[in-house]
Amino acid sequence: MTGEPSAGDSERPATGDLPILEPAALSGESGSPTVAGVLLAAGTSTRFGAANKLLATVDGEPVVRHAARTLLESDVDPVVVVLGHEADRVRAALEGLSVETVVNEAYDTGQASSLRAGVRAVRRHDVDPDAALVALGDMPFVSPTTIDALVTAYAADAGDAIAAAFDGSRGNPVLFDERFFDVLADVDGDIGGREILLEDDASVLLSVDDPGVRRDIDVPEDL
């Protein structure tokens, strides 16, 4: 999404010198944290052309619906989708799915405002989550097992900010502990939680066998 840099951006540093964990290396008793899902689906997708890339179809379904179903088929709950550009059309593409939606009226200012809206919506929810997993609406190829792997790593105290990585390169989604909610709800600019991930001492990458964490939709050829 325009204004919402994703894991597929080739100009982004591969890991930011973060440690990379293998799932098999996780040890110790795992708890049962409550992790909310936040799907950012507000961008204008100008690089895609005149059409809204979130409404383009993959295997007969809109891209954004694939991304939302990935979260719904995982261990995160609730799932909040942040809308913005063509909010009514994107909401219609999610019809029938058990997601909550919130509209970011300032979506054209970039990802930071969408992330802010998503975290604030999670904090208003009846559920008091221990963490939030932030995913992107233009990444329809992520596997639900990857989401669950991030939640499992968090439950095993692997880190407080955990991003998926494939083939040694950082991708999306990213899980953030509740202690980051204040700063995530107040971020400015167009960096989202990237600074937190790259600068916090408790940040790690989790290696997953899922190339979808590096595949976003920017142009029609990406489909």
Give pLDDT tens digits for 54-94. Answer: 999 999 999 999 999 999 999 999 999 999 999 999 999 99
Task: Dig out the tokens for 112 from the structure.
Answer: 């930071």
- pLDDT in the model for residue 5: 35
- pLDDT in the model for residue 8: 36
50: Cα within 13 Å, side-chain hemisphere: 0
Task: Dig out the tokens for 144 from the structure.
Answer: 């639900």
Q: Which residue has the higher pLDDT, 5 or 186?
A: 186
* Average pLDDT along the chain: 88
CA–CA distance, 84 with 114 (Å, rounded to integer): 8
CA–CA distance, 78 with 102 (Å, rounded to integer): 13
Calculate mean pLDDT across residues 21-45.
87
In order, the DSSP letters of 17-85 are T--EE-GGG--S------EEEEEEE----GGG-SS-GGGSEETTEEHHHHHHHHHHTSS--SEEEEEBT
The domain locations on the chain are: 33-222
Q: What is the pLDDT of residues 103-152, one digit of tens each?
A: 999 998 888 899 999 999 999 988 899 999 999 999 999 999 999 999 99
Note whether 200 and 160 are within 8 A (CB): yes
Q: What's 33-222's CATH class?
A: alpha beta
CA–CA distance, 199 with 174 (Å, rounded to integer): 14
What is the pTM for the complete model shown? Answer: 0.89
